[in-house]
Amino acid sequence: MLGKTQTKPIIRLVDVYKEYRVGAISTLALKKVNFQISNGQLIAIMGPSGSGKTTLLNMIGLLDRPSKGKIFFDGVDISRLDDRTLASLRNTKLGFVFQTFNLINRLTVFENIELPLIPRGIPRNLRAKMVLEALTKAGGEESWLHKKPNQLSGGQQQRVAIARAIVGKPVVLLADEPTGNLDRASAKTVVETFLNLNKAGHTVVVVTHDPEVANCMDKIYVIRDGEIVGEFPPKKSESLISKE
C-alpha cells in the first residue's frame, strides 16, 4: 500500500515552454510553466478549450518533450533520457486514462487491462491475478473480463480504462477529461474511483474543464493561454460527489 505523504515532488516542471510549428505559423501552447506534483496529491488542472491542459498533461506524462525548460521526474532531468527509458518510465511509474477510453475493441477486457504488463515480461498467470485486482479496484466486475469493450457501457469502459492504467501499480495516475464522454452518474462513479485510488496512495492528476469534477480534488490549478494563472482550493460543496 502506498502512503499518502504529499511531500516529495515526483514531477517538477521548471520554466517549461512548448511551441508547435505548422509551416511559418507557430503557436505557444505552454508559457514558462513552473509546476510540481508531489507523491499522493489529488490535483485538478482546469481551463477552457485550447488553454494548454492536454499539452501540460502530455509533458507531465512524459509523452512529449518541452521546447524550452526542464522537466524532472523523480529528480531526473528527462531531457537526458532516451525514448526507450521514457517508455519504461511511462510503463512502470505512470498510468493514463483518456476521455474516449481508448480501449482496443478486438481485445477482451482482460487483454486490454493486461497490455501494460506485457512489455514488463510478467508471466500470464501472475498477470491474471493483477488484472482482476486492478479491475476490482477500479470498480469493475469479474464478469466483464471476457467481454469486448464495446459490449460495455461508457462508464464501465472508463472503469476498464482505469484498471488498465493502474494494473502496473503506477506512482502517478493521469486522466485527460475522464468524465467528458460520460453521463453524470457514470462520471460520479469514475470520480469516486479516483478518490479511492488516491486514498490507496496513488497520485492522481485530472485534467478537466468541468468545475464539479475539479472541486472533488484536493487542489485545482487553472491554466489559461498556456500559463498557470493560479492555484485554488476546491469548493467541496460544489463538487460532483456532494450532489445527489
User: Among residues 21, 83, 143, 244, which is the contact residue for another protein, using CB under 8 A?
Assistant: 83
Stretch of 42-50, 103-111, 195-203, 213-221 contacting another protein, by CB under 8 A = 103-111
Q: Say which DSSP state 51 is in.
A: S
- CA of residue 127 relative to chain centroid, distance: 22
Q: Which is nearer to another protein, 124 or 184 (CB)?
A: 124
End-to-end CA distance of the chain: give it in Å, rounded.
31
Which of 9-17, 44-52, 97-105, 211-219 is the region at the interface with another protein (rule: CB under 8 A)?
97-105
From the number of C-beta atoms within 10 Å of its C-beta (0-12, 13-18, 19+), residue 124 rates as exposed
Handedness of CA 81, 82, 84, 87 (dihedral sign): positive
Nearer to another protein, 36 or 105 (CB): 105
111 binds another protein (CB under 8 A): yes
Q: Which CB, 140 or 215, lies closer to another protein?
A: 140
Nearest to 175 by CA among 161, 189, 188: 161
Decide whether 169 or 219 has the Cβ nearer to another protein. 169
Provide CB contacts within 8 A for 133, sequence distance 6+.
167
Of 31 and 65, CB closest to another protein = 65
Burial classification of residue 221, based on how many CB atoms lie within 10 Å of its CB (0-12 exposed, 13-18 middle, 19 or more buried) = buried
Torsion of CA 190, 192, 198, 201, to 10 degrees: -100
Under rule CB under 8 A, residue 177 binds another protein? no
Residue 128 interacting with another protein (CB under 8 A):
no
Binding mask 129-168 toward another protein (x if CB under 8 A, else -) reads: -----------------------------------xx--x
The CA-based diameter of the chain, rounded to the nearest angstrom, is 53
User: Is 80 a residue that touches another protein (CB under 8 A)?
Assistant: no
The footprint of another protein (CB under 8 A) covers 58, 61, 63-64, 83-84, 87-88, 90-92, 95-96, 98, 102, 104, 106-107, 111, 115-116, 118-119, 121, 124, 164-165, 168
